[in-house]
């Protein structure tokens, strides 16, 4: 893709270092049927990307970002609408930083949840605890297979993870 470096630079800017996965690892995993790295365009203008991991009955949006110069113009909602059309019968699942009144970016966390709720996502009871952050899982269906979410991350992290069903 001609915008390869543009996509990579957006990825580096849009996500803090502790949230990012190694770029070569993401590229490698996207060559398998369980993961897709998708770029979105409007009239040949790059507007954003999504990195999605597929499982039985749901599609986990691991990363979604809109081009910095085009934010707040509805492109995030349009990308989600396209993904919902593409995966019509299954649930889309993603995670966001859990709100925390002591966090400097708590207002941003709340706005992000509100954005996803406006776009048809529901808060689930699933949380992902990592060393630096706790994440809340949202999905376009009210119930999710929580063990399935765990399997997604095992597949992504494990070098031979494509054997995990």
Give 10-residue mean pLDDT values along the chain (165 residues).
82 89 84 85 91 89 89 90 92 93 92 95 89 90 80 71 44
CATH number at residue 78: 3.40.630.30
Query: What integer pLDDT is reported at residue 160 of this predicted model?
Result: 52
Number of domains in the chain: 1
Tell me the residue range of the domain where 64 lies: 4-163
Structure tokens at 38: 């998708």
Say whether pTM exceeds 0.85.
yes
């Amino acid at each position: 893709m001609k915008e390869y470096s543009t996509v990579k630079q957006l990825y580096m800017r849009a996500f803090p270092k502790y949230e990012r996965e190694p770029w070569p690892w993401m590229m490698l995993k996207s060559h398998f049927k369980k993961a897709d790295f998708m770029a979105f365009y409007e009239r040949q203008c790059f507007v954003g990307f999504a990195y999605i991991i597929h499982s039985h009955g749901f599609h986990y949006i691991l990363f979604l970002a809109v081009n910095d110069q085009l934010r707040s113009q509805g492109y995030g909602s349009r990308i989600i609408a396209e993904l919902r059309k593409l995966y019509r019968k299954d649930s889309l699942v993603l995670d966001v930083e859990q709100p925390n009144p002591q966090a400097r970016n708590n207002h941003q966390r709340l706005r992000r949840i509100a954005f996803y709720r406006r776009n048809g996502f529901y808060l689930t009871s699933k949380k992902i605890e990592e060393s630096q952050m706790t994440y809340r899982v949202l999905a376009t269906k009210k119930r999710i297979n929580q063990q399935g979410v765990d399997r997604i991350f095992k597949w992504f992290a494990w070098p031979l993870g494509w054997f995990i069903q």
